[in-house]
Structures are given as structure tokens and as C-alpha cells.
Structure 1
């Protein structure tokens, strides 16, 4: 009987803790770094397509407040091929729900890109010229506590 009670208590504590963490997530920003590795010689074409087609959608989400900041960077020097990346785009979302909203940019597509077929082809091209793309969810680490 004690074992069942202990198991029940542990499940209850875990469930309450998880629910509390989910409630707190709505107040916390959520950061994702997207890394893009283009095929050799195509990095400029990739970023041009990104700036033309994807960045304006992200800016609309920024204006709405779902995204807090957008930052793009590229390395100054080269690295080994296995660790090479050409662009890192860091997005800070207002919360985890905004980060995983499948319709984050959907409402803006028609207004910004009336030629949906052209957008589709250019976005397909943007991903065809990539050798790799990965997203990293990052969180701050408090060093002074």
C-alpha cells in the first residue's frame, strides 16, 4: 500500500510541476537559432532568397509582437567542412507558444506575395541549395547565482 501511495504522490508532484512550468512558459521568451549550410558557391543566393521571401514574413510577426527580435550572422572565418555553417538566424519569440505556432507567418503571405506559385518556387530553390539546416533551442544560463 505504501508503494502505491508513493507512486501516486510522485505522479501528482510531477504533473503539478509540469503544469506549473507550462504556465510559466507563457511569460518567458523562447530563443531558436537556425543554422544554414549552403552548397559551395550558393551562400549569397540563399541569403538573397531568405531576405526576399522569408524575412518579410518574420518582420510582420515582429511587428505583431510574436517575435521579439531577429538577428542574422555569418562567420568571419571558415571552419572545417563538418562544422561549417554559412548563416545563423536567431529568433527570440515572446513565448514558446508563438515559437511553435504553425500559422505564425501564414496570415501575411497573401498580402506580401500575391503570386503564391512564384513564392513556392523560390522557397523550394532556397532549400534546394542547402546542404544542411538545423534549429537549436537555446536558453540562458545564469552564471552569477
Structure 2
């Protein structure tokens, strides 16, 4: 468990969200395969570490993920006026879902690609927050939190 609690390992596990998408676009691996074989296990390891790890590690994972989710929501709220003005800024999320479910863009914007895409979007936000939290040294002792 000690290795899983290192900041570098936390950062690496969280970065699998980026690797999933970038690797697909560079042609290194299909997104659905990477998501199932790498991203999902990495996410489960982070969740397990958040539950069973030391308090400092739990703090990093939970606070980082919450900060990333919050940032994603705020950024989406910032986009709303542009979407109302006709800009298709939310159109990318069902496309993420298409890539996750089918490995290619196929124009399907039904429920499942929407759900998969928006879930990926928010998990990606949580991952960004966690990556940032893993890079910042904790100044406060656990007693002051």
C-alpha cells in the first residue's frame, strides 16, 4: 500500500484519464480497450487507496478529486452563455462517449454516449484536480485539518 500512497503514483494513476484520450488520438491504443484495461483499474486503485490509505493520502485524493469536479462544473457553467448563443461547446461530450463505447465517432448522441461522455468529462476533471493535489506539498499537519 505504501507505493500506492506515493504522490508520484497518485499522479500517475490519475493521469490515465489523459493517457486514455491522447493515446487514442495518437493511434497508440483504442480508447475503449484502454478505458477498460487501464483507466478503470487505475480509478479503482485510487478509490481503494482513498478508502484504505493513510489520512494524508485520503486527504490528497478526496480534496483533489472534489476540487477537480468543482472546477469542471464551474467551467461548464461558464460555457452556458456561449452555448445559448449557438456555440456547440457541449457537443464534444457525446463524442467522448462515442469514442469510449465504439472506438470511433459515429454521430450517435443517444443516452449511452451522452452518459459515457459526460461521466468521462467529470472523471477527467476529478483526475486533473487529483494530479494538482498530488503535486502540492501539504503544509498543514493532519491535526489542523
For normalisation by structure 2, the TM-score amounts to 0.25
Q: Whose relative contact order is higher, 1 or 2, with alpha carbons under 8 Å and at least 6 apart? A: 1
Greater share of residues in helix:
2
**Which structure's CA Rg is the greater one?**
1
Greater share of residues in strand:
1
For normalisation by structure 1, the TM-score amounts to 0.25
